Structure 1
């Protein structure tokens, strides 16, 4: 249970950060995925008001980050903020940015992986990986692993085990697809997949058509399942070293991701929540996941509406998490040894 069982769908990030102000104070925080009028901006604003030691804001476009920084400094003039440019669709860009972040923050107390794409047509990253999977999971998998030395240093020096956190933004849309281990690039038709890799029963007929190969909704869902399984792996491997990882469903929010969807896509988004949330409300659960001390010993990894919640079984299965970790290592061309617990 979280510290504030009364928090829910309508709670704002501003309210959560006010309640957890002492947990925010003095922390080094990396927030990946920041642009004006985004969830990342609302997270950054709520954190910056409460005296973090350092707030690093990372995004593909420096101009967008700088616009957010200007907004923050109009409210919290002394907030220590540094911008970082990185492109999650390019592994070389990630490998270039990671050492710079390590130099800026030899100890990273909190990493919030908020960045995501939702594209309507089939695209690939520079490495030839389907864009949703390549950015939303693989890019963040690589970045996080490259930054783990800093995260582990923070954990080893923290007097409170479990307060060092890695937060992966996911979605209730993860229920649209398990990981397609035999077809992560979504080139096979549904009817060619083994049963455990097909979209789950009960979805709209268009997503279950056996003759359909690529669906942007299924592709997005697979990447969001990857976010949760990544948190499962990180927590299993690192909990004894003081690190916890959580995956957060923010709710239905009218951000750039939603605006890019057609009518069918917007209907699917609306189905994941009872109401459309404001940006401040959508950012709230991530702030709970990052700072709530009652989660220091939590074994579950998925949160929605500011509380721990159940996710799809295929998104929390340790065996699937292990398989995804190995596949992810193959796709970035590097193995990451997390120690005996991995």
Structure 2
């Protein structure tokens, strides 16, 4: 009888990348050690040269962080993953490990503010050509480029990138997707043709307002390049937040289901309210890309926005009344 494959909710709880801790504990322990001992110089050399997998120095690998990364790889449907100190550290690693002077980077015109600043102030300084495009117009992406970078659900504004359509334009280039506003519970970009996926784990993956972290997932080769970048630039995740994040992942599927249900109820209430001019939520039938959202995502998530009649003062009164 064929063994049934576990679903995402079960894997988020029970997926374990490392099982060699003393006593084989069900919960991976926090390993705060910055350095690790070896029985022989020969063993040290094998680990140092990557001939053998092992732990040498905390900024290279840490057991607690590695278990988290293995779980994230499983949830994303990836060969490998790496955890970072912040979401921006993960995004920077994904971009800088794949761009060189003279390359072209395609980005959506509506882009998370810090990512836009990174591209404008640091990526361009490398001599990389940057072209901003409409994420909703896949045909505009049909041009040669080393990297295409999009967000599953854009922050701000919420336009959706048709991941499969944009992936079909990449040729020999790479598609990197920021999946923060969806999480692997709602969308797995690697299944839609992406090469690397980035997550700000500070948000949905952790879900408890007590961790800052980021994740990159993809092929072993591409992820290994981000690991080297992380080591060389210092965006290493500490074991304690890695432990908290791993614990937060256990409720990811449940939280995303409830986020989606509650947000849809709020969005429908607001859409019917006389003082609200417009509601931006991908789960509403009135959302311009509603059909794409249904095709590309399992559910709609918890992020929405709305325009209040009466200008800034009216909007501030609404905020102050919450």
Question: Larger Rg: 1 or 2?
Answer: 2
The TM-score bracket by the shorter chain reads: 0.3 to 0.5
TM norm structure 2: 0.36
Would you tell me which structure has more helix in proportion to its own residues?
1
Higher RCO (C-alpha 8 Å, min separation 6): 1
TM norm structure 1: 0.34
